[in-house]
Amino acid sequence: MRLLFSSLFLAGAFALFNSGTAVAEDWPTWLGPRRDCSSLETLKPWADAPKVLWKLPIGEGHSSPVIHAGKVYLHSRVKDKDEEVLTCFEATSGKQLWATPYKRAAFTSVFGLGPRATPSISDNRIFTFGVTGILSSFNLADGKSTGKSIHSPSSKLRTSTLALPAHPFLSMIKSLSK
């Protein structure tokens, strides 16, 4: 059910991203570029449902996709493994451009096993915060890890229920960017 919901949500997001506007505004973090869920775009009311350009199955997670420079980035759980993955897709076709999985600690929860924090893009990096408390930095162009990550020192901060920009670890991102 979660996989179906995630697939449909992604398909809807891409349809909206490509629904008749000349150039869509980037959405590089939770709640968008101004972190207030607003867009500078003006859309005409839809006469019909937007056309679904593509859809595909994805791993479990509660984070939102982020969009930057014609690419869609998604942080999710690798099915049946104690791993999470950051994946980049071409926004117009859904073609997977790269995927970077990484190991995490075992995790169980009645609220699901995938990441909860939305990735955040800054300059040439994308940052993720995994469900077990791993804050990571990746190169935006190829998805390669920068080799920098921070593990939550407290089990109370392991499971993020906040989006990355609102999380207490946000101040630590600067140290990953250096």
Closest CA to 169 of 111, 115, 128: 128
* Residues 117/129, Cβ–Cβ less than 8 Å: yes
* Residues 97/120, Cβ–Cβ less than 8 Å: no
Q: Please write the tens of the pLDDT for every residue from 17-65.
A: 444 444 578 999 888 888 888 888 888 888 999 889 999 999 999 888 9
Q: Which amino acid is at 54?
A: W
* Residues 105/112, Cβ–Cβ less than 8 Å: no
Q: Please write the tens of the pLDDT for every residue from 61-106.
A: 988 899 999 999 999 999 999 999 999 999 999 999 999 999 998 8
pTM of the complete model beyond 0.85: no
- Structural domain boundaries of the chain? 2-32+54-177
The verdict on domain 2-32+54-177 having CATH code 3.30.70.80 is no
First to last CA, the chain: 40
> What percent of the chain has pLDDT above 70?
71
Helix, strand and coil percent figures for the chain, each rounded to 5? 20, 25, 55
